[in-house]
Structure 1
Amino acid sequence: MVSHPIQYYSPWFRWMSAHGWTLRVFFLWDFGVVKKTDREFGRELAWDVDLLSGYEHEFVPNAARDPGTHHLRGLNNPSLNHRIQQWKPDAILVFGYKYVSHLKLILSTDTPLIFRGDSHLLDVPAPRPLKRGLLRCLYARFSAITYVGLANRDYFRTFGVPEKKLFHVPHCVNAEHFVASESNRAQAVALKESLGLSGCKILLFAGKLIPKKQPRELLAAFLSTDVTTGDAALVFVGEGEELAALRQLAATRTDKLVRFLPFANQSEMPSRYLLANIFALPSRGPEETWGLAVNEAMHLGVPCLVSDRVGCQRDLVTDKETGWVFSVDTPDGLRDALHRAFADIDRDAEGFRQRVAARIAGYTYATATKGLALAVQHAVAPSGRVV
């Protein structure tokens, strides 16, 4: 059960279906395949890759007055439980819990439940006793819990999930899409030339230009570094509420190379990552859960600079091995990390590329599916069912 077709998950469902799994995906909303406004990008959006073929699925009618994932009642699908039970599944994989339809299913079904979420406690206050108690009760309803990485695992342990119910199902993207093909490389070279950045080392930010991702702090840090002017550039790809302020700040320093590119859809993203020598995700949060853009960049061999509040940091980004890590609580931490990153790329670009490729190699749909299979086996075992 998933809120809507998501570019990271739909290829996984297709992969599972092609490798012997019998599954049906119940979508609760049609965002992603029908053009709708994305509140954080501030524009209408529909993904330009196939999100629906190759696996069995259905869209459950959503009765919400204001459909969406931005509030509790945004996913309200009265027929969901009946439709799922008609299919008679051995187990139900539930993505998230913060919506009416999710809670109704979690609290009422007798079918074994498996949970998937990517929350962590890296940038939120310690949970209050009431919330801690409620979530302990909620997670106790699940026969198995999948965790995407170490920070997510710590989160579930905080809310009382026993070790025996935890299964590692790493966060993945479609590795077959994020490849350095001849076409993607040619697009990147042409784009770099059009931006007047041939010969420059490029620091890339790609995503929603919103405060929690700290694009303004990234720009300020870049402008304050002593990297040789003309040798390094910062490129932003995306849109959002911070865009105007970023352009205004960049205009104050015409001696620094800063470029802005519009939102890029999925088919364009490989060429955008191939622009980069360094990819940055300096988020402070709250709720910068994992950072799947880091997976995407790493599949293309790009080392990443991230804050210590990004959920994937402990799993994917080891300082001076596969990228660079800074503490958001350290004054000038981001600026200093940028300085180290540009110096390291000058010295050992190929070494970083090789270490990045080795680290991300295990973050595939095949690996995730192996972990999910163990979770399903555990979930159905008490009832004597066999998968």
Structure 2
Amino acid sequence: MRKLAIVTTHPIQYYAPVFQLLAQRGNIDIKVFYTWSQSTLKKNDPGFGRDISWDIPLLDGYAYEFIENTAQDPGSHHSKGIINPGLIPAITGWQADAVMVIGWAYKSHLGVLKYFKNKITVLFRGDSTLLDEQWGLKNLLRFLYLRWVYRHVDYALYPGKATKAYFEKYGLKKTQLVFAPHAVDNARFAADRQNEARELRTSLAIKDEDILILFAGKFEDKKDPLILIDSFLSLAQSNLHLLMVGNGVLEERLKQKANGHTNVHFMDFQNQSVMPVVYQACNLLCLPSRGPNETWGLAVNEAMACNKAVLVSNKTGCAADLITPGHNGNVFTAENTESLRLNLAALCTSKEKLRLLGEASGEIIAGWNFTKIAQAIETTVTN
């Protein structure tokens, strides 16, 4: 059985199930090498402004090792925040046949790509896009640097069309590109939580016939929740409600804008076990991101798994893959309040319309699952 070493910074809820599934399937032998530190199991997230500790198991069911991080300022916020002198010896000592690196922009991760090139098969998993691409000398230098980085990669696993275009621009050939979709635990989000969802709506004084629009994520500039508040309030429809779920640096400004409007509601960050209830309580998810670097938007996957209509900006990485305009939602022009307002108005004409769009979302997202990621990794490693 071929052995795959997986290099990533810390346990997260979107990758741990894939590692568990790979171990269960038993087609390859895997071991995950975590490079940030064991303390990241509970860490302060600057975006949410609070300690985050996920309430689903992230280390069960697969082999892993935390590698000592000797960085003076440890973290994933800068390239010198991940420094692991013991990483390459650990992978070599485990006698890996292939290595998959998730994210290259850290000293240790780039070092793994460079060291193992032409020694064992090197896979890379990333989700960068060209959505925020700019021209100029700085971008030319970046272009040359990224072409050099990706010369150390044998195969790149891309989650969608926008990332595929990015990899092609930076020198990877079609034969090196492997589709491995971004996914969430569709079954967990789709499980019936309707009784709890009704209780949530009741607690917010939202009538059964009313329409609830949801924003779920960090209250930060990149996700542009301010434009959603502005567009929603401009509609001035008594049967519409907006629920903002999360925390972050824009929280006070958002609450100031919503002050006095009883149909705008706020909830703090909610953990994974609660989020299916939140999604099932809403009728439409809106992700109004303006970037930079909204490379995907997994909240969209989660909402679609709950059979919900979705409205996203054109700066959201998943838009080209998951949104079919008029079929399961729509795409609006980022940073354009009027574009967002018109789309909200068009989508929220009736609950029945949103229900039908949501059913289409459920059908689409069924094909975006952990099994397809596992199969893509297995096929690439064993071929």
Tell me the TM-score range normalised by the shorter chain.
over 0.9
In the TM superposition, residue 350 of structure 1 has moved relative to its aligned partner by 3.5
Q: Which residue of 2 aligns with 1:96?
A: 103
Structure 1 residue 331 displacement after superposition: 5.6
**Whole-angstrom CA distance in 1 between matches of 2:376 and 2:70:** 34
Offset from partner CA, 1:237-283 (integer Å, 9 cap, x none): 100011100110001x53x5000001101111111111110001110
Question: How far did 1:334 drift?
Answer: 0.8
Whole-Å separation in 2 of the counterparts to 1:329 and 1:283: 8
CA separation of 1:32/1:47 partners in 2, compared to 1, >3 Å: closer, same or farther? farther
State, as a whole percentage, how many aligned pairs show the same letter: 37
Please name the residue that 1:384 is paired with. none
DSSP 3-state at the match of 2:41: coil
Aligned to 2:343, the other structure's residue is in SS state: helix
Distance 2:378 2:42 in 1: 34
Shift, 1:30, TM fit = 3.8
1:62 aligns with 2:69: yes
Deviations, residues 260-318 of structure 1 (Å, cap 9, x unaligned): 00110111111111111000111000010100111011101011110001000010011
How do 1:111-150 residues align onto structure 2 when only pairs under 5 Å count? Answer: 111-126=120-135, 128-150=139-161
User: Partner of 2:363 in structure 1?
Assistant: 358
* Distance change in 2, residues 1:203/1:120 (3 Å): same
Counterpart CA distance in 2 for 1:331 and 1:267 is 33
2:168 maps to 1:157: yes
Residues in 2 aligned to 1:234 and 1:72: alpha-carbon distance in whole angstroms: 38
Q: Secondary structure at the match of 2:214?
A: strand
Residues 167-215 of structure 1 show CA distances to partners (whole Å, capped at 9, x for unaligned) of 100011122321232xx22221111111111322100001100011010
Alpha-carbon distance between aligned partners in 1 of 2:52 and 2:38, rounded to the nearest angstrom: 8
The 2-side partners of 1:38 and 1:214 are apart by 18
- Could you tell me which residue of structure 2 aligns to residue 246 of structure 1? 254
Matches within 5 A, 1:35-46: 35-46=42-53
Aligned to 2:65, the other structure's residue is in SS state: strand
Deviation at 1:330, TM superposition (A): 4.6
What root-mean-square deviation, in Å, do the aligned CA atoms of Structure 1 and Structure 2 show?
Answer: 1.5
In structure 2, the residue corresponding to 1:266 is in which secondary structure?
A: coil
CA distance in 1, matches of 2:288, 2:298: 13
Q: Indicate if the aligned counterparts of 1:221 and 1:334 stay in contact, CA closer than 8 A.
A: yes
Partner residue, 1:213: 223
Matched, 1:290 2:301: no
| Structure-2-length-normalised TM-score | 0.93
Distance 1:78 1:32 in 2: 18
Q: Which runs of no fewer than 5 residues in structure 2 stay unpaired?
A: 1-6
1:382 alignment partner in structure 2:
none
> Structure 2 counterpart of 1:105, which letter?
V
8 Å contact from structure 1 (residues 6, 32) kept in 2: no
Contact 1:145 1:375 in 2 (8 A): no
**1:31 to partner: Cα distance:** 6.5
Counting matched residue pairs gives 371
1:146-169 Cα deviation digits (max 9, x unpaired): 110000000011111111100100
Deviations 1:16-44 (A, max 9, x none): 11111310000112478632210111111
Tell me if structure 2 keeps the 8 A contact 1:278–1:303.
yes
Segments of structure 1 that go 5 or more residues without pairing to the other structure are: 379-387
What secondary structure, in the 3-state scheme, does the structure 2 residue paired with 1:321 have? coil
Q: Distance in 2 between matches of 1:346 and 1:173?
A: 26
Q: How far apart are 1:60 and its partner, in Å?
A: 0.6
> How do residues 1-387 of structure 1 correspond to structure 2 at under 5 angstroms?
1-20=7-26, 21-30=28-37, 34-109=41-116, 110-126=119-135, 128-181=139-192, 184-199=193-208, 200-226=210-236, 228-229=237-238, 231-251=239-259, 253-254=260-261, 257-328=263-334, 330=336, 332-343=338-349, 345-378=350-383
CA distance, structure 2, for counterparts of residue 177 and residue 31 of structure 1 = 27
Contact 1:167-1:374 at 8 Å conserved across structures:
no
Q: What is the DSSP-based 3-state SS (H/G/I as helix, E as strand, rest coil) of the residue aligned with 1:23?
A: strand
Structure 2 CA distance for aligned equivalents of residues 333 and 225 of structure 1: 12
Deviation at 1:80, TM superposition (A): 0.2
Read off the aligned partner of 1:160 and give its amino acid letter: G
Structure 1 residues 273 and 347, CA gap change in structure 2 (3 angstroms) = closer
Give, in whole Å, the separation in 1 of the partners of 2:216 and 2:24.
31
SS of the counterpart of 2:9?
A: coil
Aligned-residue offset at 1:339: 0.7
Cα drift, residue 111 of structure 1: 2.0
Return the alpha-carbon distance in structure 2 between the equivalents of residues 138 and 29 of structure 1: 21
Cα contact 1:5–1:30 (8 A) shared by 2 = no
Cα gap change, 1:270 to 1:195, in 2 (>3 Å): same
The one-letter amino acid of 1:286's match is P
Residue pair 2:8, 2:102 contacting (<8 A) in 1 also: yes
What's the CA shift for 1:329?
Answer: 5.8
Contact kept, 8 Å, 1:25 with 1:57, in 2: the verdict is yes
Shift of 1:15: 1.0
Could you tell me the TM-score, scaled by structure 1's length?
0.92
Amino acid in structure 2 at the alignment position of 1:348: K
Q: CA deviation at 1:8?
A: 0.3
Distance 1:78 1:156 in 2: 29
